[in-house]
Structure 1
């Protein structure tokens, strides 16, 4: 059994290692798919394997299965964090703080089980980890845990304990880094956009349409999100702002970019006159 578990772990880690990391939302979503696929292989293995005795079966649900399910829960929470992450840095701190609090609440809600695990007790292992558990109060998070032959009373908690420990450790460091930045972007000095939002939209579109970022391969959304973080500003529906607000300006011009050009030319004239 252990050899087969190691092979599945290696397959899972290889799949996770091959994912692209430049887009955290996409990476987390694809990671969930990788882990899900491996877990269903694990289920097929468990249901076809002849366990030597109850101790081996308990160990599977207490130690082995949680290694895989904890990865699934971890990436689901990472997906939730990244997909719901707001652009302004201040709101990012609040969002991350809420996620940390939610994970911390899990520990408060499962104190008795956590105490049992930390104490090293095994007297209730048969009750907690043998499959076939059926209880109206048991609420499985994942579809595969609706099969009594593949779930146990505390197997889900064993996985969530591993995942939440990992999440709290990583999110704690991330929140500390955000706070250390003092409101700036990635530790840079704090900068605040003080012109109108539409002026920043003009600048973003100018960079996007000229292909000035990543040799023209950068997505408009990525450029916009970066500027929103740098200047700690929220741009609501910048696409609509550009196509509608700018299009219908009475002057028919892109005012802010023209002002920039005039300001630069004026400065160059001043330098040329010295």
Structure 2
């Protein structure tokens, strides 16, 4: 059985490859949907054939590994569906369309994702009931579960692994919709921190910030490397109130730079060393 880090790494490598080879988000979302669907299928075949060495491995798979694949699959499939029915490219109708999609997402969260007892358990990082939630054959129908519990593959699902996947997908879709609704000032939608952050803004080029974001992403130093580049980018857009646009293609243009491909990071290193030398 592949580890969580191995699965995440595979998906990240595929995302980067697809983003290089596609020019539109629709194409990227479609190709990633096909890839993740196949990855989920081959993972299911492996599980049904090989099983798990012990209960600990089974819990890790249904709590961490499968939700990573399924969550990304739900996300990319949703992005594809939204992008292919978007009525226009800009203007009030465009804004209204994505606002309606956000409202639908909130309603779906209330109806299908926010099961109070499990959502609190998952969000708090607890593990004392993992055996109940993430091993097969332990579904408690007295909890009043959603009806799709009767449609799941009980050999390849504990029901709650799908809940985790939907939580992950919900966060990714939310971030995507927010940047669509208000790309120029995402902070006004997500942050309510008052006057204290108004003097914080990015004063170098957008490419410099993208270089920094990719360096942090590649090093896996944010959330143990478990979140994607789009979500990290959203955080920086919010913090610095700057729209970064299509970061994938900006990054891949950097790879073909003449001279140093990491000019901004080189500048940071030099600046820090000079600052350190001042205190000698």
TM-score bracket, shorter-length normalisation: 0.5 to 0.7
CA deviation profile, 1:92-127 (whole Å, cap 9, x unmatched): 111111221222223333141221211223333222
Deviation of residue 42 (structure 1)?
Answer: 1.2
Specify the alignment match of 1:248 in structure 2: none
Unaligned runs of 5+ in 1: 181-274
Q: Which SS does the other structure have where 1:177 is aligned?
A: coil
Aligned positions of 1:136-155 closer than 5 A: 137-139=146-148, 146-155=152-161
Specify the alignment match of 2:24 in structure 1: 23
Distance 2:110 2:153 in 1: 28
Distance 1:63 1:37 in 2: 18
* Alignment root-mean-square deviation, CA: 2.7
CA deviation profile, 1:188-237 (whole Å, cap 9, x unmatched): xxxxxxxxxxxxxxxxxxxxxxxxxxxxxxxxxxxxxxxxxxxxxxxxxx
Q: Which SS does the other structure have where 1:17 is aligned?
A: helix
Structure with more contact order per residue of length (Cα contacts < 8 Å, sep ≥ 6): 2
Distance 2:174 2:92 in 1: 20
Specify the alignment match of 1:13 in structure 2: 12
Aligned positions of 1:58-207 closer than 5 A: 58-87=59-88, 89-109=91-111, 110-112=114-116, 113-132=118-137, 137-139=146-148, 146-177=152-183
Deviation of residue 57 (structure 1)?
Answer: 0.7
Deviation of residue 21 (structure 1)?
Answer: 3.2
**Count, aligned residues:** 176
Deviation of residue 12 (structure 1)?
Answer: 3.4
Unaligned runs of 5+ in 2: 187-280
Distance 2:29 2:102 in 1: 18
Deviation of residue 156 (structure 1)?
Answer: 0.6
TM-score between the two structures when normalised by the length of structure 2: 0.55
Q: Which SS does the other structure have where 2:131 is aligned?
A: helix
Deviation of residue 89 (structure 1)?
Answer: 2.0
Deviation of residue 162 (structure 1)?
Answer: 0.7
Distance 1:140 1:37 in 2: 23
Specify the alignment match of 1:48 in structure 2: 49
TM-score between the two structures when normalised by the length of structure 1: 0.56
Distance 1:140 1:17, change over 3 A: farther
Distance 1:150 1:118, change over 3 A: same
Deviation of residue 29 (structure 1)?
Answer: 1.5
Distance 1:30 1:2 in 2: 23
Distance 1:133 1:78 in 2: 33
Distance 1:133 1:16 in 2: 35
CA contact (8 A) 1:133 1:153 kept: no
Deviation of residue 47 (structure 1)?
Answer: 1.9
